[in-house]
Amino acid sequence: MWEGARNLIDLGGLALRGGGATAYERVWRSAAPGSMTPAGWSAARAVGLTTVVDLRNDVEREGVAVVEGVEVIPAPTEDPDDPAFLEECGPWLDHPRSWSPNAARYPEKLAHVFAAIAGAEGGVLVHCAGGRDRTGLVTTMLLALTGVEDEAIADHYERGFRGAADHPGHGLGYDPATGEWVSAPDEPWQPGELDAALADRRPVLLEFIRTTDVAAYLAAAGLDARCVDRLRSLLRG
């Protein structure tokens, strides 16, 4: 779709509760877009991309492309130097089990993410390093707010997880044993491992969806009703 893009997925075509589906070419998700070619960026601009929301931490954000007509907004979802965060979420950064404590700890960070999405003049690309975990949290919340069916959200998450598995070694990972950030291992999943990992994550993700009132969370985090309504309607019609 966009030359050089990794794990690129359009959030369109997902089943809505009550009928219908999300609109295409409004919001995309991906791995870090550093491998995108000039032709890839031109294709993205041609379908309306105006804003990139970069969920990576400062230490990961190197060599960010400057593309005419595209605004890049740094919007980390976590603080990698926060010992309390690392203790609570560090062992689960590649698992939806970290999402609830992450959201509870950093409402102001997630408010910034969603304000950036809502304020975009055109299409939005949301990405982290691999387009799996932090991107999974943000897109899951956006899809839940939009009214996408729970199982469709879970299927979408699985697609992003499998897409990240196709491109191993996508950034830094936290090693709970040493308490240090290390380069993510460049090792492919073994047969059966990926399916087992997703089977473990799916019920946790569904529980997160069913117990998280995204609109109330964002309002409590400081987003006004107009912004929340904009997010709710972004992928509709």
What is the number of other CB atoms lying within 10 angstroms of the CB of residue 54? 22
C-beta separation of 156 from 177 below 8 A: no
Q: What pTM value is reported for the model?
A: 0.93
pLDDT (tens digit, 9 = 90+) per residue, 45-84? 999 999 999 999 988 887 677 789 999 999 999 999 999 9
Nearest-angstrom CA–CA distance, 231 and 225:
10
Q: For residue 160, what is the enclosing H or E element?
A: helix 150-165
Nearest-angstrom CA–CA distance, 178 and 158:
29
Q: For residue 74, what is the enclosing H or E element?
A: strand 71-74
Domain ranges, ordered by start, for the chain? 9-234
SS3 category, 13: coil
pLDDT (tens digit, 9 = 90+) per residue, 140-186? 999 999 999 999 999 999 999 999 988 765 566 666 667 666 666 55
Domain made up of 9-234: CATH architecture: Alpha-Beta Complex (3.90)
Can you give the pLDDT at residue 155?
98
